[in-house]
Amino acid sequence: MYPIRDFLNRSVVDFEWVDLDEVNDIPANKLDVIRNAGNYPTVEFPDGVLVCNPTLEEVAGHLGWINKPTYQEYDLSIYGAGPAGLSAAVYAASEGLKTVLIEKSAIGGQAGTSSLIENYMGFPQGISGAELAERARQQALKFGVEIVLLQEGINGTFYDNKIHVNLTDGSTLVAKANICATGVEYGKLNLPHEERFLHKGIYYGAGASEACFCHGKDVYIIGGGNSAGQAASYFSGFARKVFMVIRKGNLSDTLSDYLVKRIAGISNIEVMYHSEVKELEGDDILGRIKIFNNKTLTETWHDTSKLFICIGGNPNTEWAAANDIIRDVNGYLITGSNLLKFPEFQASWKLDRLPYHLETCVPGSFAAGDVRFNSVKRVASAVGEGAMAVTQVHQYLATI
Ligand SMILES: Cc1cc2nc3c(=O)[nH]c(=O)nc-3n(C[C@H](O)[C@H](O)[C@H](O)COP(=O)(O)OP(=O)(O)OC[C@H]3O[C@@H](n4cnc5c(N)ncnc54)[C@H](O)[C@@H]3O)c2cc1C
């Protein structure tokens, strides 16, 4: 159920979530259909169609969002529709490049899961990540970008001055240049039972769509970065109490100053310093967690059915494993002058010029945003890099 709620929430689709076990005003004949199907959740679309336990593809399909690329070849293919990819799409299409944007999940990337982005210029009251992403999506469509949702670039090969990318549906997308803006994904705890409780008490990321199910509950958030801080602030408006579980002895090393102050001022948030979650227990859903204090070396059990994991992520660059794209030991894409330190770059780069600032070791293949080695990990910088990458795409295209 969570993936559907999360997808709709991040896609800024209004919906009502009805628990069949609670009093509700669903007509009896419709209730019978749903109960007889016995396969929840059931989604009723605006045209009245009921679909039992749909996949995300089915939901997106019914909303008219599943499109296939219309051309065989594009000037530019962009992978990832977070802030970097969306910004690149807007600038590329507005400057006349035939552009396709591929997104494996929901538009907006990590930013789309943020309840309130308060440090993005131009929005003094803040803006929800989903709304910012929806505005960018509309802007990109206005300029003629093709957006292909729920498709993933799984590997790419480079020949004839073009990138050929295999997508999950088996098709191949060809473009003269590409921008990889695939961002990062939250890390896992790697604890026993973590998979079993996924979406049944354990959620990766800030999970804003889950907030209304946290009324009166004790919510635990692991992580001390801005995403965890924002989540704590947001959930405090719903939960009985919010516990931020952090390894370190302070928040100021990892959290923006405005969030440190905000959290200190919210009475139902408690920061558990020097703390690490070590065990997960429960029956069908998560029931309790064991927290180890790395200062006092003590362990305590805490009852909870809501644990949000907002710890440092891993870059989405598995697609690069099978080709010659140079990454650092953690998988981040290396671009520009940082490539000069790599002996394999010296051996493979054949051009007279050096790579542009956001260009990888393959001419015409660029990286922007969080996926790039040494990137800033902020919405504004991802947006800036998306725009900058497009300028460098133009420079590259002028040379081929
Ligand atoms: C909860 C939360 C709150 C935050 N709050 C703030 C804030 O207030 N201010 C701030 O400046 N920053 C904030 N950040 C950080 C900011 O959101 C990120 O730095 C920013 O989103 C990075 O943008 P990106 O486009 O590089 O990558 P991402 O946002 O990670 O987007 C990458 C996209 O690529 C897609 N993708 C991955 N692999 C593939 C593939 N193979 N094919 C196709 N698509 C793929 C993913 O599904 C994703 O949509 C927050 C992050 C989180 C998680």
Choose which residue among 182, 262, 308 to substitute to test ligand 1 binding: the one with the highest number of ligand atoms within 8 A of its C-beta: 182
**Chain centroid to CA 47:** 30
The preferred substitution site among 11, 110, 178 for testing ligand 1, maximizing ligand atoms within 8 Å of CB, is 110
| Residue 95 neighbours by CB distance under 10 Å | 13
Answer whether 262 contacts ligand 1 (Cβ < 6 A): no
* Pocket probe mutation, ligand 1, options 379, 381, 383, 385, max atoms within 8 Å of Cβ: 379
Residue nearest to atom 8 of ligand 1 (CA): 117
Identify whether the C-beta of residue 363 lies closer than 8 Å to the C-beta of residue 396. Answer: yes
CA–centroid distance, residue 105 to ligand 1 (Å):
11
Q: Can you tell me the distance from the alpha carbon of 243 to that of 315, in angstroms, rounded to the nearest whole number?
A: 27
40: left (phi over 0), alpha (psi -120 to 50) or beta: beta
User: At a CB cut-off of 8 Å and minimum separation 6, what does 381 contact?
Assistant: 369, 375
What's the chain's length in residues? Answer: 400
Question: What pLDDT sits at residue 35?
Answer: 80
Task: Give me the pLDDT at residue 134, please.
Answer: 96
- Residue-by-residue pLDDT tens, the chain, 400 positions: 889 999 999 999 989 888 887 767 788 888 887 888 777 889 999 888 889 889 999 999 998 888 889 999 999 999 999 999 999 999 999 999 999 999 999 999 999 989 999 999 999 999 999 999 999 999 999 999 999 999 999 989 999 999 999 999 999 999 999 999 999 998 899 999 999 999 999 999 877 888 889 999 999 999 999 999 999 999 999 999 999 999 999 999 999 999 999 999 999 999 999 999 999 999 999 999 999 999 999 999 999 999 999 998 899 999 888 888 999 999 999 999 999 999 999 999 999 999 999 999 999 999 999 999 999 999 999 999 999 999 999 999 999 9
8 A C-beta contact, residue 341 and residue 253: no
Strands 241-245 and 218-222, by their bridges, are parallel
Cβ-Cβ contacts under 8 Å for 324 (sequence gap 6 or more): 344, 348, 361, 362
Helix (H) or strand (E) segment spanning residue 245: strand 241-245
For ligand 1, is residue 83 a contact (CB within 6 Å)?
yes
List the one residue out of 153, 183, 220 whose CA is nearest residue 313. 183
Q: How far apart are CA 117 and CA 128, in angstroms?
A: 6
Query: What is the Cα–Cα distance from 347 to 361, expressed in whole angstroms?
Result: 11
Which pLDDT score is estimated for 247? 96
User: What values do phi and psi take at 119, rounded to 5?
Assistant: -110, 20
Distance (Å) from CA 112 to ligand 1 centroid: 7
CA-proximal residue: ligand 1, atom 11 (nearest): 378
Q: Is 152 in the pocket of ligand 1 (CB under 6 A)?
A: yes
Angstrom distance (rounded) from CA 212 to CA 19: 13
**Closest Cα to atom 48, ligand 1: which residue?**
109
Instruction: Give Cα separations from 228 to 5, 27, 51 (angstroms).
Output: 20, 41, 34
What are the distances in angstroms from CA 344 to CA 73, 93, 327, 372? 30, 34, 11, 18
Q: What is the dihedral of CA 219, 224, 229, 230, to 10 degrees?
A: -100
Kindly report the pTM of this predicted structure.
Answer: 0.92
